[in-house]
Amino acid sequence: MDTLTSVVRNAIVGYARKGLNSQSHLTRNDDNSVFSVVTVTEQNVSFVSLLVRIFGDLVIVEQDRNDKPLVDALVQAGIPRDTIILAYRGEVVPAAA
Q: How many CB atoms lie within 10 A of CB 24?
A: 20
Q: Specify whether the CB–CB gap between 35 and 26 falls below 8 A.
A: yes
Taking the model in full, what pTM does it have? Answer: 0.92
Identify the pLDDT of residue 19.
87
Cα(12)–Cα(8) distance, integer angstroms: 6
Tens of pLDDT, residues 1-50: 569 999 999 999 999 999 889 999 999 999 999 999 999 999 999 999 99
Long-range contact pairs involving 91-96 (C-beta distance under 8 Å, separation at least 24): 93/60, 94/55, 94/58, 96/55
Over 80: is that where the pLDDT of 84 sits? yes
Q: Where are the domains of the chain?
A: 3-89
Q: What is the mean pLDDT of residues 67-77?
A: 96
Give the CATH H-level superfamily of domain 3-89.
Answer: XisI-like (3.30.310.110)
